[in-house]
Each structure stands twice: as C-alpha cells, then as structure tokens.
Amino acid sequence: MTNRPIALEDLRRYAVARSLFTPTTLPGAIKRLGFVQADPIRAPARAQDLTLRLRVKDYRAGDLERRYSQLAIEEDCLVNYGFLPREHLQLMHPRVARRAWDSKTKGHAQALQSFVSSRGPSHPRDIQAHFDLGSTRNAWGGSSSATTHLLDDMHYRGMLRVQRREAGQRIYAAVTHTPDERSPQAKAHALLQLVLAKYAPLPSRSLGQLCSLLGYGAPHLGAEIKRALSLARQTLPNAEIDGIRWYWPEGENPAAKRWRLDDELRLLAPFDPVVWDRLRFELFWGWAYRFEAYTPAAKRKMGYYALPMLWRGQVLGWANLSVQSGQLISDFGYAESHPPPDKALRQALEIEQQKMALFLGASLP
C-alpha cells in the first residue's frame, strides 16, 4: 500500500514509464509486452514496427518480419491480431470457433491441412493451384478467394501456423500445439493478467472491454473470462479517482519513485500500448485522439495516420509522416492552437525525426 492516495498524475507517469521501458532485444521486448498488435497500413511504417522501434535497441522497419522465423513467436489472435510469444498459444488452443463448419468445409480443411503437412511451408497461390474452391463474399461485401478465406479460418482455429511472410503474404506450415494441463479457469485468469500487464493502469470500463475482446482469442473461454474479470475487480490493486476505478497488476505501486519520465520525445503508433485505450487517453491528456485512416479525407481533423506526440508525460499533439523520394516529410498538429514555445521541445522533436529517418532508412530534407 502507498502512504498517500494515488493521483491521476501518478497513474499517467506510471503508464508511460512502465510501457516505454529501456530498449532491449526484439524477443525480450515482445516477451515483456506480451503481445504486439499488427496492422497492414504503412504510413510511414506498419504499427508493429512503430511500436517495437521504441522498445528494441537499433530496431529498423521490417526487422520483425525479417527475423520472425528465427524467433519463438507467432502470428495469432489475442484481443486482436498480432504477434506474441509462442508460449501464450497454449492459453487459446485448441481454439473452438463460435461458428461450426459444415461437413463440406470440414472436408476441404482436412484436405488442405494434409497437403501442407506433406508438402511443407506453402504459399497460398500454390495451395490455390491444387484446391481452387471458387470465391466467397468477404467481410467488406466484396468477393475473395474461398481457398484464402479457408486458410485464414484454419489458422485461426489452430490447424495451421504462419511460418513466415513473403512480400507480405503468409506462408503456411503444419502445426502441433503443446497440450496445456491448466484448467479453463486458470487459462482465463492468465489471459486477463496478460492484457492487464500490457495496458495497465486501466479504468474499470477499459478492463472490461479488453476482457470482452479476449473472446476473439479464446471464444471458448467466454464464461471463464467473465468470472475472472469479476474476481479481478475484487482482488486487484486499485484506486478510485474522480469517480473512476483504476486497476493495475499485483506487486506494482503507481506512486513509486521508480516510475520516472525522461526528456525524449516519442511519436507513437495509433495502436501503441500508451495510446490504445482511447478512454484512458482522454482521462490522462484531456483531449480525444482519433484514428482517421478510414475516415473520408474531407472529414479528417488530424490526418490519415496521425502519430501522437508524447513528451515529458504529456501528449501535446501529433505528426503525419511520409517518405517521399527517400526523404522523411513531417507535418505536425497540436492539441492547443499553437505549439508550446519551448526550445527544448523543438530540439527533442528534431532528435525524434532523426531517429525516425534512421528507422525508415530515409534522410531528412
């Protein structure tokens, strides 16, 4: 217990300092984060690369994809799609999807699984050449390959794994999941602790939202996750501030002096753990950040892929970055009408632009 009440400033400092730990190795950072959300948009780099560059020493855009097959990590689903240590798959597999296959689809899946098992790591186009299942309607109302759709579904159900990627395309391989003797209740508790450790401290509503999203990674553990959430709200360290109950992992003290902020300015990915919870963002920084990549251009207020600008524990604004003719082009916006007239801020921003250019293999104008 602390000697004084926990304040919002304590939680804000704690959230930033515990997430932006001293850069380490790539496997070490993924293990510490527990999960890295993926996104295919590259503006100026994919979200997973933007997240890892701040936490991995000497990281360069694309390092995760280049080194993926040599690391004990997997592409899979937790609260959404991303990368996680292989050991966590035991918490979710065998995954029982909410929608059962009919006998025809099950037969196709077994045939595809046998093909990949006998042939070895396989590109979707090679699988398609042997199993052309026609087309199907995708989630956006368009038409896509039924074979590709089934491969995605087989990966989700744990029948295949992503062995690596080639030009962004998944290369599928056979997989055998290690049995986990833990009870469903123990697995649900471990999953809750996993997301709490990544995103803490969390308002009660956000903790509930994350537990609901765990239904994506472990739909068959829905009832157990609800019970784990109910128990967590009774037992986890917590504090009420301005009518909102906050939670964090056992054994951590948000008011401890160990949680220190530095003078580095950081441009964060839209799905960075510091930014991901939009409710927490507004409570911490007093303004609403919006991800506008799917907003019509005429209605955007921040830009296509605005990167929140964090400095000394405050998110002052955002940046939109692009690489044009090998040069890093930057456009900045601020939560206040004008940027703070601070020389130290300008210097910190220049250093961050230099780091971003190096990460992207670009130069500055």
Please spell the DSSP secondary structure of 201-255, one letter per residue.
SEEHHHHHHHHHHHHHH-GGGHHHHHHHHHHHHHHS-EEEETTEEEE--TT--TT
Q: What percent of the chain has pLDDT over 90?
A: 87
How far is residue 280's CA from residue 133's CA, in Å, rounded to a whole number?
Answer: 45
Query: Per the domain annotation, does 112 fall within a domain?
Result: yes
Strand 265-267 with 307-311, pairing: antiparallel
How far is residue 286's CA from residue 325's CA, in Å, rounded to a whole number?
Answer: 37
* pLDDT for the residue 140: 46
Across 215-229, b (16+ Cβ under 10 Å) vs e yields: eebbbbbeebbbebb
pLDDT in tens, 83-128: 999 999 999 998 988 889 999 999 999 999 999 999 999 999 999 9
Query: Average pLDDT for residues 206-228, to the nearest whole number?
Result: 97
pLDDT in tens, 319-360: 999 999 999 999 999 998 777 778 999 999 999 999 999 999
* pLDDT for the residue 143: 53
Query: Per the domain annotation, does 147 fall within a domain?
Result: yes
* pLDDT for the residue 146: 86
Using alpha carbons, select from 359, 357, 356, 358 the residue that is nearest to residue 265.
356
- Report residue 304: phi and psi, to 5°: -60, -45
Contacting residues for 148 by C-beta, under 8 A, at least 6 apart: 124, 128
Structure tokens at 171: 């290369």
* pLDDT for the residue 266: 98
Query: Per the domain annotation, does 344 fall within a domain?
Result: yes
Query: Per the domain annotation, does 181 fall within a domain?
Result: no
* pLDDT for the residue 139: 53
Q: Is the peptide bond before 94 cis (omega within 30 degrees of 0)?
A: yes
pLDDT in tens, 54-91: 999 999 999 999 999 999 999 999 999 999 999 999 99
Beta strands in 106-237 (DSSP E): 135-137, 143-145, 160-166, 169-174, 202-203
Number of structural domains (the chain) is 2
pLDDT higher than threshold 50 for residue 2:
no
Query: Average pLDDT for residues 173-187, to the nearest whole number?
Result: 93
* pLDDT for the residue 259: 97
Q: Which domain holds residue 319?
A: 265-360
How far is residue 301's CA from residue 292's CA, in Å, rounded to a whole number?
Answer: 8
Q: Of 127, 147, 174, which residue constitutes the final position of a domain?
A: 174
Contacting residues for 291 by C-beta, under 8 A, at least 6 apart: 270, 305, 306
Q: Of 155, 174, 193, which residue constitutes the final position of a domain?
A: 174
Confidence of residue 142 (pLDDT cuts 50, 70, 90): low
* pLDDT for the residue 3: 67
Query: Per the domain annotation, does 334 fall within a domain?
Result: yes
Query: Per the domain annotation, does 115 fall within a domain?
Result: yes
Q: Of 147, 174, 201, which residue constitutes the final position of a domain?
A: 174
Percentage helix, strand, coil for the chain under 3-state DSSP, each rounded to 5: 40, 20, 40
Query: Per the domain annotation, does 25 fall within a domain?
Result: no
How far is residue 135's CA from residue 149's CA, in Å, rounded to a whole number?
Answer: 9
pLDDT in tens, 248-292: 999 999 999 999 999 999 999 999 999 999 999 999 999 999 999
Flag whether the pTM goes above 0.75: yes
Confidence of residue 43 (pLDDT cuts 50, 70, 90): very high
* pLDDT for the residue 1: 42
Using alpha carbons, select from 234, 244, 248 the residue that is nearest to residue 200.
248
**CATH number for the domain including 111?**
1.10.10
* pLDDT for the residue 4: 78
Query: Per the domain annotation, does 73 fall within a domain?
Result: no
* pLDDT for the residue 136: 64
Report the chain's mean pLDDT, rounded to a whole number: 94
Burial of 62 (0-12, 13-18, 19+ CB in 10 A): middle
